[in-house]
């Protein structure tokens, strides 16, 4: 995002309300910021979220394989009172 300031895509006039209370970005500044974010940051963030999602799904599948699905249904067992002590 530093690039947006270095190449003057974002300029001081894109902000208002300077001072102790901070500042806000105007509509043209937000448009430039989100365009820059989409180009520079979003692909890496998307890849990181995809990996985390796959890891979470794999962990849930593994946990489900270790415990019968009936134990996960409401009313099948009291939450936190499974015989093996695992609430999941």
Residue 53 pLDDT: 96
State the number of CA atoms in the 13 A half-sphere of 67 facing the CB.
19
Angle of CA points 32, 37, 41, to nearest 5°: 160
Count other C-beta atoms under 10 Å from residue 40's C-beta: 13
Residue 75 pLDDT: 55
For 2-58, write each residue's pLDDT tens digit.
788 888 889 888 988 877 888 899 999 999 999 988 888 899 999 999 999 999 999
- Hey, is 85 helix, strand or coil? coil
Predicted TM-score (pTM) of the model is 0.50
E strand or H helix at 16, and its extent? strand 15-16
pLDDT exceeds cutoff 90 at 72: no
Residue 18 pLDDT: 73
């Amino acid at each position: 995002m530093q690039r947006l300031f270095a190449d003057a895509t974002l300029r001081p006039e894109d902000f208002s309300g300077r001072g102790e209370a901070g500042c806000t970005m105007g509509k043209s500044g937000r448009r430039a910021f989100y365009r820059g974010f989409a180009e520079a940051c979003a692909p890496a963030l998307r890849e990181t979220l995809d990996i985390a999602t796959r890891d979470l799904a794999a962990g849930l599948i593994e946990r489900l394989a270790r415990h019968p699905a009936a134990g996960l249904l409401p009313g099948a067992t009291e939450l936190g009172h499974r015989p093996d002590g695992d609430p999941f």
